[in-house]
Amino acid sequence: MTPIHLSDTEIQLYSLDKDNCGLNITEHIAQCESCATRAKNYTLLFSAVEDMPKPVIDFDITAMILAALPEHKKSPTLSDRLVYFVSFAGMSLLGILAWFLQKDLSRIFDSVTSMIMYVLLIPIVGILMWECYDLYEKYKKQMNVLN
């Protein structure tokens, strides 16, 4: 047996893991009442800490956090980017054409009679209205599926 008492670190090592703390520590504690008492204090302390009730968050943390999260910004896919690019290129082309042909365009509209204008406008407006209605119906169906 070691003639001097064990250090606090050694006592803790013994209380945490009796089997792997070293033979000299185990032997000393087996023969020394004072060190055995100190080890017992630690063992009681550790088991008391383990038995302590766990703190509980007394509010619905998940709901609170999910409500506070920023909306996810979906990054555009490759096909989305292609659509944006083609649309932009098309609009630019139309703009450039309109700029170069502005005199000719005004001449065309001056020469068109109001009768021809109505003949052109009525089907265009009709088609546009039909497309809008069709889009709305599709949207409603999709929402029903999602719900």
Partner 1 sequence: MSLNNEKKQAEKTLVNSVIQGNTPAFGMIIKHTEGLVAQIVFRMLRNTEDRKDIVQEIYLKVFKNLREFKFQSKLSTWIARIAYNTCVNHLEKQSLVLDDSINPAQTAPQYSVPEEHIFRRELSIILNVEIEKLPPLYRTMIILYHHENLGYIDIAQVTGLPVGTVKSYLFRARKKLKENILAQYKQEEL
For the window 21-60, what string marks contact with partner 1 as x by the rule CB under 8 A? Answer: -------------x--xx-xxx-xxx-xxxxx-xxxx-x-
* Position 8 contacts partner 1 (CB under 8 A): yes
Report the C-alpha gap between 19 and 131 in whole angstroms: 80
Report the C-alpha gap between 71 and 1 in whole angstroms: 68
Residue whose CB is less far from partner 1, 48 or 145: 48
Cα distance between the two ends of the chain: 77
Q: Nearest distance from residue 65's CB to partner 1, in Å?
A: 4
**Any idea which residue has 């001097």 for tokens?**
4
Binding partner 1 (rule: CB under 8 A), the pick from 19, 74, 104, 147 is 74
Torsion angles phi and psi, residue 116, rounded to 5: -65, -35
Torsion angles phi and psi, residue 22, rounded to 5: 115, 140
Residue ranges that bind partner 1, judged by CB under 8 A: 8-9, 12, 34, 37-38, 40-42, 44-46, 48-52, 54-57, 59, 61-62, 64-66, 68-69, 72, 74
